Amino acid sequence: MNGFKDPLIFFSSLMVVYVLYHADQVMKARYNYRIYPKYHQLQPLAKAMGCGRVVWNDALWLYKKAEIEKTDRPKNISSVVITQAKKTEARKWLSEVSSVVLQQSLRDLQTAWNNYFDSKKGKRKGKEVGKPKFKKKSSRQAIRFALNAFTVHSESVKLAKIGHVKMVVSRPLPSSPSSVTIIKDCAGRYFASFVVEVSQLIPPPSVPPNRGDAEGRGVGIDLGLTHFCILSTGEKVENPRLHKKMLKRIKKANRKLAKAKKDSKRRERRKRKLAKLHAKVKDQRTDFLHKLTTRLVRENQTLAVEDLNVAGLIKNRKLSRAISDAGWAKFKALLEAKCDKYGKDLIIVDRYYPSTQICSFCGKLGGKKELDVREWTCLYCNTVHDRDICAATNLLKYKDAGGQSESQNGRGASVSLPVAAVCDETSTNYEQFSLF
């Protein structure tokens, strides 16, 4: 395989997989590794990230200038911001880093700029893409190396003009990576993110003996706040509330940061400490969501989850922090990626489907209920329902009730198709409504 010096290549135990796309059972996936640069490698890495940021900002300024003057974008942008800039006194230090980093930074900007205008013109489907922004030195930093600028070894990755960087490894790569992105987060940690091709569907992890065979099994998943999710099997997964547990320390760190003098070393240390607290919450939440989604996908063949409008729900000022802390959007994204990866069926239920109003036993509509009503009795069959378990069961029955499974738009993003209303669902008599 190209780019490998040692046939024994391993992954980090902190690996995160995101499926990018698939065609003819060939998928591209991204794997993240924790890396530990040596002290003398920190300055070359900082130079490379700074030069990539300068090239991005210079090119973006030329693009915005052409937009304001209503002229065509410069065709020789690479020559202006890289080749000619290296010959000037103000930008001669660009030659101290690998030219691959500068070229990749420029290509990323061109892609982002084209995506913005394609989105404005309607050529790019899905959520509208924002205009590229200038990069800051204080935020998250990233540089990308193409295949000819890096090599992967058993315990390190060799980067052009930087050298061997130690990498925490544990699992073999499925194929040769096409690129690597070196990331420095706000907490000062470094990661290497590889893009690799997976030629076939990956078999799911083995199911524990006490769980039985996943073939033919299905589960409905109702998301909540008291419990993170309620399954149609009756299981209720506790909400860890990770941000709430760390909130006291975060507030204290924020107060100390506000009192520190601007541009001082003390402020920099306190800012790093606050970033580490947020990074810890993020890592704990990601670990919880990965373990939960992996277990659900491993134990079931069909999964049904509601397409919640999270962006709209967080506008509720009383619940916005709790909803953001739960991580519903990331849970759904991981569930989609892993179902695609392991070949499982995922049903995205329409957000207007009245899952809490329908009796899961007889299928009759029981009327709208207030949030404090956690149990209710069906007027038609006298079945006593737990509100959340009933909703999860109805989500699993959504496709059989006339709903449609997940579809994709032109960008490959999952969407929920509109479903025609059923006559029984549109009418609710006064006696039923007055009971709740």
Average pLDDT over residues 173-182: 92
The secondary structure of residue 169, as a DSSP letter, is -
Residue of 23, 17, 29 lying closest to 412 (CA atoms): 23
Which ranges in 221-264 belong to alpha helices (H)? 242-259
Residue 285 confidence (pLDDT): 97
Are 126 and 49 spatial neighbours (Cβ–Cβ below 8 Å)? no
Query: 312-368: per-residue pLDDT in tens?
Result: 999 999 999 999 999 999 999 999 989 988 889 999 999 899 888 899 888 888 888
Residue 202 confidence (pLDDT): 60
pLDDT, mean over the chain: 84
- Segment of 166-180, 246-260, 381-395, 397-411 carrying the highest mean pLDDT: 246-260
The CA–CA distances, whole Å, from 274 to 204, 244, 248, 271, 393 equal 38, 15, 12, 5, 42
Q: Which stretch of DSSP H or E encloses residue 182?
A: strand 179-184
Single-letter code of the amino acid located at 101: V
Q: Which stretch of DSSP H or E encloses residue 167?
A: strand 163-167
Give residue 426's pLDDT band: very low, low, confident or very high (50, 70, 90): very low
Query: 385-425: per-residue pLDDT in tens?
Result: 888 999 999 999 886 555 544 444 334 444 443 333 333 33
Average pLDDT over residues 214-233: 88
Using the predicted structure, report yes or no on whether residue 21 has a pLDDT greater than 60. no
Give me the phi and psi of 293, to 5 degrees please.
-65, -40
Sequence-ordered list of residues with C-beta below 8 angstroms from that of 138, at least 6 positions apart, any chain: none
Give residue 384's pLDDT band: very low, low, confident or very high (50, 70, 90): confident
Q: Which residue has tokens 């989604």? A: 293
Distance, in Å, from the CA atom of 284 to the CA atom of 243, rounded to the nearest integer, reads 10
Query: 278-289: per-residue pLDDT in tens?
Result: 999 999 999 999
DSSP 28-91: EEEEEEEEE--HHHHHHHHHHHHHHHHHHHHHHHHHHHHHHTT-PPPTTHHIIIIIHHHTSSSS
Residue 402 confidence (pLDDT): 52
Cite the active site residues. 222, 306, 388
- Express as a percent the part of the chain with pLDDT over 70: 81
Q: How deeply is 396 buried, as exposed, middle or buried, from its count of CB atoms within 10 A (0-12, 13-18, 19+)?
A: buried
Q: Which residue has the higher pLDDT, 17 or 430?
A: 17
Are 47 and 129 spatial neighbours (Cβ–Cβ below 8 Å)? no
Using the predicted structure, report yes or no on whether residue 171 has a pLDDT greater than 80. no
Q: What is the pTM of this model?
A: 0.81
- Segment of 232-246, 348-362, 369-383, 386-400 carrying the highest mean pLDDT: 232-246
Angle at 249 between CA 317 and CA 138, to 5 degrees: 85
Residue 217 confidence (pLDDT): 86
Using the predicted structure, report yes or no on whether residue 209 has a pLDDT greater than 90. no
Average pLDDT over residues 15-28: 54
Residue 427 confidence (pLDDT): 34
Are 264 and 307 spatial neighbours (Cβ–Cβ below 8 Å)? no
Distance, in Å, from the CA atom of 137 to the CA atom of 185, rounded to the nearest integer, reads 11
Residue 200 confidence (pLDDT): 57
Domain segments of the chain: what residues?
17-198, 215-237+279-434
